[in-house]
Structure 1
Amino acid sequence: MAREDRTVLDDGHPLFITEHQLTDSAGQTHILQTSKMRLDWFGEPALLVVSVDISEQVNARRQIARLSFYDSVTNLANRTLFMDHVRQAIQNLRREGRWGGLAIMDLDDFKTLNDIHGHGFGDTVIRHVAQHLALHVPDGTLIGRLGGDEFGLLLPATRDTAGEAADDHRNTLNNLLNTLAEPVLLGGQTLRLHATAGLVLFPDPQGCDADTLLRYADTALFHAKQALRGQVCLFQPRMAHEVSFRVGMEQAVCRALTHKEFVCFFQPKVSIPDGRIIGAEMLARWQDPDKGLIPPDTFIPVLEATGLIEDMSYQLLDQALAQLASWKREGLWPAQGRLAINISPRQFGSPDFAENILNRLAQHRLSGDDLELEVTESILIRDMRETVDTMNVLRAQGIRFAIDDFGTGYSSLAYLKRLPVRMLKIDRSFVRDMEHDPNDAAIVATIIAMADHLNMEVVAEGVETREQLDLLRQQKCTAYQGYLFSAPVDAPHMTHLLQDIAQLPPSAESS
């Protein structure tokens, strides 16, 4: 008899065992919850034992706990667990007086891989990277998946001075990036995976907490992506103000969305043969009450990073459609003219994208013939079947699609043949130098000729000089946008432009 059983019999105190294991005759292990108590059995002391098999409940609880702290794709620590370890490491190293490293590693062009091959293939790449890191990091390194294609590395302290520690951690990260870039066969594809890393040393004299350190590492990563893509960037104190700026920008764009500070600007689309306005593109601007007009390259990346880009896009779409309806009522909008709207990848990938577009057209009493949706090449090739299905639903209602910035992405006749696209927009980078660069001039001419053979229209973006316009006219390009005619303007100014064009005689020619 077990000692605990004898104790229950002798003392008469019941015993409750919350969790223990028992292996049955078949070798299967069960998790039991057991109660033991003394009772009298025909005048003799006896032991009553009641056991309940709680294996399923315990395993479910453990699985839930694991999902709370580990990434389901890689089985690495998730952000929550990783940051807990960072906090503990900060305390330990402050006592020891040594320098650890916190790094964020981000795959270059991972979104493109996802768009081309699908999310299943993307998960395969993420798992490979996780396995690669586990094989090549120094002992004592904690690896975490922070989200998407971002990995966190908590590098152990190896040196007593900051300079020596920086060299060690940089060498470790460079080795990881170099070995990761070696060719690898994944899902039938031979890939060279490239990554960039931001590194910050800790603890620092200012006593930064874990969240601040992570922002510093992220800022270093941002710098690396801008200037040292594929390399390691060590955080410098001068970068600290950028962290505050980025956090402030995130808060500011949230406020701007709530207060409807994002406004529509319009750039006319102009016919090259007769100089008339034949439509317009809506462009986003931020009318900040203190700073004035803020250009999109400042706030669009912040909206994308915070996941607010879709909210802003639909808010501006409503504004733009309301304005278009007003121009049509006043008789100012050109016959058969379309308003072009840029569509973000997040918008296009939403399951209710087509429904949202059609509902908004109906709310403003507009038809699909009034609208053109501009998409980038990377959106179009992400999932060809789903892309074509979505586009066909909208095309059936009269909506037309244009490929924006054509020639800068994955231009391919193969996908152009399959997609219901009616217009190509030549990227401004080719138009800007076509007067002086024969290669750019040849690219522009090729795009125009190809579009003609595919029965597509072409719009040249970024036309700023009369010489550029003359070259485009010679190459039979039919329409353009650019500062030569008008910069993007607000709705009242666009109204004046429409009024001025409406007063031109029918035979007016572009001079």
Structure 2
Amino acid sequence: MPQAPRHRREAERLASLRSYQVLDAGPDIALEALTAAAARALKAPAALVTLVDEDRQWFASATNLSAAIGYHTPQTPRELSFCAYAVADEQTLVVPDATLDARFADNGLVTGPEHLRAYAGAPIIGRDGLPLGALCVLDRQARPFDAQGVQVLTDLATTVAELLELRRADAGAGLSDHDVLSESHRLRAGIDAGELVVHYQPVVDLPTGRWLGMEALVRWNHPQRGLLPPWVFLPLAEASGLIVPLGREVLQQACAQVARWRRDIPAAADLHVAVNVSGRQLGEPDIADVIAEALQVAGLPAHALTVELTETSLADTGAAVDIALQHIRALGVTLALDDFGTGYASFSYLQRFHPDIVKLDRCFVQALGRSARDDLLARTLIQLGLRLGCDIVAEGVEHPQQVDALTRLGVRTAQGYLFATPRAPEQVQEQLLGVHAPPPRATTAS
């Protein structure tokens, strides 16, 4: 019997699969509904969601498996796996009669008491672009599968991938399956009740210490748990889709607040604000209109708003997002690439999206002075951004020595705890009325 093939990037594929933390998990009602739908769509007696591990195929969900073909265990050895072929080729596999297919004619599931004859399976492609397993249907009778049914199977496999991604995000948020719905409803109620608040961290001109602008950072003022930082609830917002209304609320609050400061405080007349936009928001067809409306309602000029994009938000972008960014830029809004240098795609994003600003990630700032190699890497990234006509903002500045090093490298703008922590609007306003916070110290850099 031929051995089941391996994916060309098998090690990466297995790492991606295990990051979902779903192997050997308990029953999942949503997955069971999808497998049942696959069985109905293709008029097959049994359906499975399989995850193909290193040496086994585990059944994440099974519909009528034991009744239809007499198979009772939750997994098979990988060498018996039909789905391993769909995974290796990243293509939907259709086998009308396994006894006539050289790959499967001697397979134990075909020659054994299960008497498997017909199979159709569509690969489940995960977030990393790698196949995790397959959604498949099985039959003891040799039979063709019509093209329309196979397309439904492929579409359902995409839905399975989306559901597994939701489960992974839930795990990242520290939520178990039974918590997800209730916590999502609670966050939705919190957004509607105005429990989201925006704090602001100044962006500072290094030579003078003057506040040039603010980065808007969301917090959740939870009635029972107090003020929650974003890493506690943003994974849930991303997983549930609530990141879209949440992001809209942050955008509106930030634009309105900074417009008031610019209008009411002479020292803040030129202040700008930076707001993070998620990949889910960028995928919304009306994102440019949402931004335009927030600016208009607040009375904030477009050039006073910076939209910050992370590599994560751009990771799965297509033509629709390219068009959205063009429309956002056409408004006169500034575009910034956040966390620059931390991901493999940073350079390609510089080329593709032409950001006005790149934000040097804090890991490079914190490594300044640690070794000649670290300094060379930071200098190379900064010079690249500058030569491409981008302004540079250094993140995570915590020590005066970092200010000296950044100034020598040509960086004029930064933010970090050395200057100010994120703070509530009333605290920011107190310092703005004091004509900005003074520079933390006089730098010694020339």
TM class, shorter-length: 0.5 to 0.7
CA distance in 1, matches of 2:232, 2:79: 30
CA distance in 1, matches of 2:276, 2:252: 13
Report the equivalent of 1:264.
198
Q: 1:473 aligns with which of 407, 418, 433?
A: 407
- Alignment partner of 1:287 is 2:214: no
- Could you tell me whether the CA contact under 8 Å between 1:361 and 1:368 is conserved in 2? yes
- Alignment partner of 1:82 is 2:35: yes
- Could you tell me whether the CA contact under 8 Å between 1:463 and 1:481 is conserved in 2? yes
Q: CA deviation at 1:359?
A: 1.5
CA distance in 1, matches of 2:63, 2:170: 19
Q: Deviations over 1:430-463 (max 9, x none)?
A: 3233343554433321111011111111111112
Q: Deviations over 1:451-482 (max 9, x none)?
A: 11111111111122223222222212111111
- Could you tell me whether the CA contact under 8 Å between 1:391 and 1:420 is conserved in 2? no
CA distance in 1, matches of 2:353, 2:408: 28
Report the equivalent of 2:278.
344
Report the equivalent of 1:251.
185
CA distance in 2, matches of 1:174, 1:298: 42
Report the equivalent of 1:497.
431
Give the letter for the 1:338 counterpart: H
Give the letter for the 1:310 counterpart: V
Q: CA deviation at 1:106?
A: 10
Helix, strand or coil at the partner of 2:176: helix
Flag structure 2 segments of 5+ consecutive residues without an equivalent: 1-29, 40-46, 93-124, 134-159
Within 5 Å, give how 1:320-399 maps onto structure 2. Answer: 320-332=254-266, 334-377=268-311, 379-380=313-314, 382=316, 386-399=320-333
The structure with more radius of gyration: 1
Report the equivalent of 2:136.
none
Flag structure 1 segments of 5+ consecutive residues without an equivalent: 1-76, 87-100, 108-135, 142-150, 159-163, 198-213, 227-238
CA distance in 1, matches of 2:337, 2:247: 18
CA distance in 1, matches of 2:343, 2:421: 25
Q: Deviations over 1:203-245 (max 9, x none)?
A: xxxxxxxxxxx9xx9799649987xxxxxxxxxxxx9x83444
CA spacing shift, 1:177–1:452, aligned 2, 3 Å: farther
CA distance in 1, matches of 2:295, 2:255: 7
CA distance in 2, matches of 1:369, 1:456: 15
Give the letter for the 1:80 counterpart: A
CA distance in 2, matches of 1:294, 1:104: 38
CA distance in 2, matches of 1:223, 1:389: 27
Report the equivalent of 1:419.
353
- Could you tell me whether the CA contact under 8 Å between 1:459 and 1:481 is conserved in 2? yes
Q: Deviations over 1:134-171 (max 9, x none)?
A: xx969xx7xxxxxxxxx84559569xxxxx967x56x5
- Could you tell me whether the CA contact under 8 Å between 2:218 and 2:250 is conserved in 1? yes
Q: CA deviation at 1:336?
A: 3.8
CA spacing shift, 1:365–1:182, aligned 2, 3 Å: same
Give the letter for the 1:404 counterpart: D
CA distance in 2, matches of 1:179, 1:346: 32
Sequence identity, in percent? 28
CA distance in 2, matches of 1:195, 1:266: 41
Q: CA deviation at 1:389?
A: 3.6
Give the letter for the 1:82 counterpart: T
Report the equivalent of 1:115.
none
- Could you tell me whether the CA contact under 8 Å between 1:275 and 1:510 is conserved in 2? no
- Could you tell me whether the CA contact under 8 Å between 1:137 and 1:176 is conserved in 2? no
CA spacing shift, 1:293–1:196, aligned 2, 3 Å: farther
CA distance in 2, matches of 1:277, 1:249: 38
Q: Deviations over 1:21-78 (max 9, x none)?
A: xxxxxxxxxxxxxxxxxxxxxxxxxxxxxxxxxxxxxxxxxxxxxxxxxxxxxxxx98
Q: 2:417 aligns with which of 483, 487, 503?
A: 483
Residue-pair matches, total: 340
Under a length normalisation based on structure 2, what TM-score does the superposition of the two structures give?
A: 0.63
Higher strand share: 1
CA spacing shift, 1:195–1:391, aligned 2, 3 Å: closer
CA distance in 1, matches of 2:231, 2:308: 18
CA spacing shift, 1:153–1:304, aligned 2, 3 Å: farther
Q: CA deviation at 1:415?
A: 4.6
Q: 2:380 aligns with which of 435, 438, 446?
A: 446
- Alignment partner of 1:298 is 2:232: yes
Q: Deviations over 1:406-430 (max 9, x none)?
A: 1223445555245342100112233
CA spacing shift, 1:384–1:334, aligned 2, 3 Å: farther
Q: CA deviation at 1:402?
A: 0.3
Within 5 Å, give how 1:160-309 maps onto structure 2. Answer: 168=75, 182=88, 194=130, 222=168, 242-309=176-243
- Alignment partner of 1:406 is 2:359: no
Q: CA deviation at 1:179?
A: 6.3
Helix, strand or coil at the partner of 1:256: helix
CA spacing shift, 1:301–1:333, aligned 2, 3 Å: farther
Report the equivalent of 1:147.
none
Q: CA deviation at 1:397?
A: 3.0
CA spacing shift, 1:440–1:509, aligned 2, 3 Å: same
Give the letter for the 1:458 counterpart: I
Q: CA deviation at 1:300?
A: 0.8
Q: Deviations over 1:176-199 (max 9, x none)?
A: 89767647699xxxx9964568xx
Give the letter for the 2:387 counterpart: H
- Could you tell me whether the CA contact under 8 Å between 1:267 and 1:489 is conserved in 2? yes
Q: 2:392 aligns with which of 458, 465, 479?
A: 458
CA spacing shift, 1:184–1:319, aligned 2, 3 Å: closer
Under a length normalisation based on structure 1, what TM-score does the superposition of the two structures give?
A: 0.56
CA spacing shift, 1:81–1:342, aligned 2, 3 Å: closer
CA spacing shift, 1:153–1:268, aligned 2, 3 Å: farther
